[in-house]
Amino acid sequence: MPNASPTLDRRLSIAPMLDWTDRYCRFFLRQISRHVLLYTEMITTGALLHQEPARFLDFDADEHPLALQLGGSEPSALAACARLAGQWGYDEVNLNVGCPSDRVQSGRFGACLMAEPQLVADCVAAMSEAVPLPVTVKHRIGIDDMDGYDQLAHFVDTVAAAGCNTFIVHARKAWLQGLSPKQNREIPPLRYEVVHRLKADFRDLEFVLNGGIKTMAEIEHQLKHIDGVMIGREAHQNPWLLADADRRLFGALAPSPTRHEVVARMQAFVARQSAKGVPPHRITRHMLGLFQGQPGARAWRRHLSENAHRSNAGAEILNEALACMRP
């Protein structure tokens, strides 16, 4: 039976992004929105099973709702990692079938797995058996010359039969040869209509659309056609986009925090983490876009970029950056 997740609201989520959506980024974004679903960076099964898992899995309780994204193609290894996700208290386990990075392909996971739908189904079945969490899959609309709708529908049908109810679809195909990961996020055209067609053809499944969405108006438009939207780079470049999400998408009545209130919360967080030996720049690098489009934004970014790496930098770096914004 497919795993169900009646409590997870996927109307808006933040994409797993290598080198970006670490625990410090997620804590920061959670100060802006209480309801968006957050994802970890992709973590490989090899890293979790052969190194200290706490290094990859620890998170702050404030980060909920939170999903763990796994990279791998061995069902038993993915099942073992799914059990770890359950033990750590994650709300969802996601399998990466969408990343075209060379370091992903060399490990035989990511987008190249779209060519092997039965293997993906076997992975989903093993994970679903191992843990009572919802098991989801993030994938592309196709790879290389395997980009016909019938092939995509066969992939979804096969994986759904193994226990996956939720498909997060990056509405671009991926070229596994000839394009870099960055180019694969930009050059293949966005085809939202393909994801809309999947939803029309598989009405009992949940579909979340990913790729190119940059405004709340675009999110609201897409939600007329599909179940959820996942945003990636825009949330990093312009995180204040999320400030209106709780009210407009999730029906929250509490007022959104101000940017300065978010800074105050993050200052306390930086102080706590600094006491544990975490350099401030590992946290403040995620905050550079907080004042995007506001007077003084450049001064804010410059001060953090140039000074957060200092050996004597501490939580006061945020107040210093705020002071630099004043005319």
Q: List pLDDT tens digits, range 91-132.
A: 999 999 998 865 544 457 788 899 999 999 999 999 999 999
Give me the pLDDT at residue 101, please: 65
Query: In terms of DSSP bridges, do strands 92-97 and 135-140 run parallel, antiparallel, or are they unpaired?
Result: parallel
Give the mean model confidence (pLDDT) for residues 123-149: 96
In this structure, the number of other CB atoms found within 10 A of the CB of residue 92 comes to 22
Give the mean model confidence (pLDDT) for residues 288-294: 96
- Domain locations in the chain? 12-250, 259-325
Query: In terms of DSSP bridges, do strands 228-231 and 135-140 run parallel, antiparallel, or are they unpaired?
Result: unpaired
Give me the pLDDT at residue 1, please: 30
Residue pLDDT, tens place only, 238-269: 999 999 999 999 999 999 999 999 999 999 99
* Contacts of residue 232, Cβ cutoff 8 Å, sequence gap at least 6: 14, 15, 17, 185, 210, 211
Residue 214 CA to residue 220 CA, distance in Å, equals 11
Residue 241 CA to residue 72 CA, distance in Å, equals 32
Residue 125 CA to residue 139 CA, distance in Å, equals 17
Fold of 259-325: Four Helix Bundle (Hemerythrin (Met), subunit A) (1.20.120)
CATH for 12-250 (3.40.390.10, 3.20.20.70, 3.40.50.300, 3.40.50.970): 3.20.20.70
Q: What six digits make up the tokens of 38?
A: 């957050």
Give the mean model confidence (pLDDT) for residues 26-50: 97
Give me the pLDDT at residue 154, please: 98
Give the mean model confidence (pLDDT) for residues 269-294: 97
Residue 39 CA to residue 37 CA, distance in Å, equals 7
Does 32 score more than 80 pLDDT?
Answer: yes
In this structure, the number of other CB atoms found within 10 A of the CB of residue 206 comes to 20
Residues carrying an active site annotation: 99
Give me the pLDDT at residue 2, please: 37
**pLDDT bucket at 187, cuts 50 / 70 / 90:** confident
Does 276 score more than 50 pLDDT?
Answer: yes
Residue 181 CA to residue 1 CA, distance in Å, equals 35
